Structure 1
Amino acid sequence: MITQKTITFLISLLICGTISAQLPTKKYEKKIDSLILTGFGNQNEPGGVFTVTQKGKTLYRKSFGKANLELDVNMTPENVFQIGSMTKQFTSVSILILEQQGKLKVDDPISKYIKDYPNGDKITVHHLLTHTSGIKDFTKMKSLSSIAQKEMEPKAMVDFFKNEPVDFAPGEKFDYNNSGYVVLGYIIELVSGDTYENFIRKNIFDKIGMTHSYYASDRKIIPQRAYGYHKKEHGFVNKTIISFSVPFSSGSLMSTADDLLKWQQALNQNTLLNSQETQKAFQKYKLNNGEEFTYGYGWHLKEINGTPDREHGGSVFGFKSMGVYIPEEDMYIIGLSNCDCHSPTEITRDIAKITLAEIKASAKKH
């Protein structure tokens, strides 16, 4: 028979256990709060959203500042942001989906799809995916301002930079390049017979339930949209308007922190790609001279305190984004900002460092 004394003892054990489980959480939360507040501390300015999950469990999920200054609307963790170059992950996985379907190969020369592309028989899809093609990055071209607000067809966008002098021979160097990812978007359209926007929606967003992710638009009504801002000497201004057909498949998607977690989980679970194709995205490759570089297909492959990670940021007028995934701990950290004056890049990496240290310290105790 269980005595009152035993019941009291068990309850006290349970209470102590709960407290000891909560204490590190509160302490951890305060550490992350103070880190984020260094860059996102003013609640009357544009802000951001930061989330940390491990094995699908939320460790941290908070919003800071305003989603809309004019209407004085506070940011929430559900707000939709432009994610800039984090778009490249979706473009690279789309290429691998087409490869899995037998419709292209990453070793194919791009001349197979775009007949008149200069040196197209030497530049492969793989070169575009890994930023080793040597083609001119359109964001560095002075004439960019002449098309920035025009509605550009993908072919016209490719024609805009394809005849520029190349920076180096294919495979000779790694040099981060937006043009390569625009060409990839055009190839996706040519091979699939669909628009890039539709392809991403049908094959990724709809398939894995990313219900708050979109190809960006300034005209469509997008529920929970966070507005983008620049900071000037006299204060904040609304972001510069550009045509999303210009960054296209190199930087035109919108998403939320929660949807990006669904994306990461789908990659882990091989929902979209088989393990062989997935592996291609997350392995390091070599240049022509045999030197290894730290980029896969749409992800930088780096380390945080000696622990391998996969990461990528994004920057587009009015917005900055950063995602860090640590496979060893199944840990995903996302930082999204609605002002290009607040960068979440280093903060997101620092959150990863703190979280890793906490997990390792906790593992030692137990």
Structure 2
Amino acid sequence: MRTVTSLFLIAFLAFQTNSYSQATISKTDSIIGQTFRENEPGGVFLVAKDEEILYRKAFGKANLELEVPMQPDFIFEIGSMTKQFTAVAIAMLQEQGKLDFEDEIVKYIPDYPTQGNKITIHHLLTHTSGIKDFTKIKSINEIAKKDLSPQELIAFFKEEPMDFKPGEMYKYNNSGYVILGSIIEIVSGQSYAEFIEETIFKPLKMISSSYASHKKVIKKRASGYHLKEEFVNNTFISFSLPYASGSLLSTVDDLLKWQIALEANTLVQQKTKEMIFKNYTLNNGEEIGYGYGWHITKRDESLSYEHGGSIFGFKSMAVYLPDEKIYVIGLSNCDCHSPTNIVKDVASIYKDY
């Protein structure tokens, strides 16, 4: 009798778990389906707990002209999610003793006009440097299609007046991550693209990730779109402009490998990771809600590490709940379809999985 009761209990619990899973999947489908429709540019979404994939689906079209359905392994431009890789690359060099977070940037770029200020690598990583964001400079359209070296791009904004003194404010800033990319090249002796490929992508077997290129044929790459009165192809921009602040390509599967490696301290030690995911403060002690390459915030009272990306024709968003070990990532091939709120809502659904 006890054996029969035990078997019944096991079967009942299995049924309950399966029902919960199906209900969660259906709810996730519904949330995503409100934005991503079959005959429009699409997206790919993935949910994982630890290393277990709980949800992985593609929506819409990868190419409207050829009517190619999106597939879960397709490649997207991830925009400012690139900043995560730049920050960890800097942290890896710090562990190797090749630089320090508190180094002033003039140690690596001696002719940089700091306007009497002490600007450190830490300030660049946390968007507290006060340097003018080059994407906000009106004349940016004059260089948008040009292939520039990091030095030429830095020259475009370095003479601009500072927005504030270092550490006095938090203001999201792409220029800081451009300078970080240049420092990586100076310290490592490799190009930024080579360094990321050799020290991160290859060791983690992120085989579908790379520095973006307009010339190279990249299989399974989704096309990007804007929505005006109708869907149109995305605006051309040289990838030398977003550079270390936003020029990487990836997939949801590779980004899960990235998250697993971060959690396992594969690339950096625990003490360094704690510095990356610290909620830093301004000079007056006020928390900024940002670490090194990630926003540090709360999601339904749970600690959350998150970041999005936006580049012509594409948007991305990822949320990681470290206490629950839940990772949610969404990639879109139209900058009209933002995955940001979707990913946040889906993370809330799976938080207690």
Instruction: Tell me the TM-score normalized by structure 1.
Output: 0.93
Aligned to 1:93: 88
Aligned to 2:99: 104
Aligned to 2:316: 321
Contact 2:47 2:56 in 1 (8 A): yes
**Which of the numbers 78, 84, 87 marks the counterpart of 2:79?**
84
Partner secondary structure for residue 292 of structure 1? coil
**Which of the numbers 173, 183, 193 marks the counterpart of 1:187?**
183
Contact 2:305 2:321 in 1 (8 A): yes
Match runs of 1:141-290 below 5 Å: 141-233=137-229, 235-290=230-285
Partner secondary structure for residue 227 of structure 2? strand
- How far apart, in 2, do the equivalents of 1:295 and 1:18 lie? 41
Letter in 1 for 2:309: G
Q: CA deviation at 1:20?
A: 2.1
Contact 2:135 2:174 in 1 (8 A): yes
Bigger helix share: 1
Q: CA deviation at 1:19?
A: 2.3
Identity over aligned pairs, percent: 55
Deviation string, structure 1 residues 68-103 (Cα, Å, up to 9, x no partner): 111111111101000000000000000011111110
Partner secondary structure for residue 27 of structure 2? helix
Q: CA deviation at 1:12?
A: 5.8
Alpha carbon RMSD of aligned pairs, Å? 1.5
Aligned to 1:299: 294
Partner secondary structure for residue 38 of structure 2? coil
**Which of the numbers 49, 52, 58 marks the counterpart of 2:53?**
58
Aligned to 2:19: 23
Structure 2 unmatched runs, 5+: none
State the aligned residue count.
352
- How far apart, in 2, do the equivalents of 1:16 and 1:69 lie? 46
Contact 2:50 2:260 in 1 (8 A): no
Partner secondary structure for residue 227 of structure 1? coil
Partner secondary structure for residue 323 of structure 2? helix
Deviation string, structure 1 residues 295-332 (Cα, Å, up to 9, x no partner): 00000001111111000000000000000000001110
Letter in 1 for 2:240: S
Aligned to 2:326: 331
- How far apart, in 2, do the equivalents of 1:118 and 1:13 lie? 71
Structure 1 unmatched runs, 5+: 360-366
Partner secondary structure for residue 58 of structure 1? strand
Partner secondary structure for residue 39 of structure 1? coil
Letter in 1 for 2:33: L
- How far apart, in 2, do the equivalents of 1:9 and 1:123 lie? 68
Contact 2:76 2:251 in 1 (8 A): yes
Match runs of 1:335-350 below 5 Å: 335-350=330-345
Letter in 2 for 1:30: S
Aligned to 1:123: 119
- How far apart, in 1, do the equivalents of 2:22 and 2:264 lie? 31
- How far apart, in 1, do the equivalents of 2:246 and 2:330 lie? 16
Instruction: Tell me the TM-score normalized by structure 2.
Output: 0.97
Who wins on radius of gyration, i.e. which is larger?
1
- How far apart, in 2, do the equivalents of 1:71 and 1:13 lie? 52
- How far apart, in 2, do the equivalents of 1:269 and 1:163 lie? 42
